Structure 1
């Protein structure tokens, strides 16, 4: 998984990931070539699951319900043996 930043200010996405402690390679798509070609939404939310301050899962998707989010969190915890 990689991040694609479409923000006009390239440092914004990198700073956000750094502040969250997310180790995710990312690329700048300043002219919207990548996102536009694939028809990606303007913003893809990133949900970071952390246990005791340690990142255990990252979900780059929109959740349509609380139940869908709860299911992903449970899967992330199971994947960590929790």
Structure 2
């Protein structure tokens, strides 16, 4: 009996969660911050990402560590 009382709210929550639809955010350009405690060259940086089309994006990174680092990524989704 006690197990049923715990299981019913969980099942209700799972059904509500399954019934809701997820909506992706629509954006072309985004600005981000990358933080890390590791000693990598590009550990703490600012990044900007721009989608050229639905499947291709470019991302630029600027690291403020020692030495200063710049990176460019081509991303295919």
Greater RCO (Cα-Cα under 8 Å, separation 6 or more)? 1
Larger Rg: 2
TM-score (norm 1): 0.24
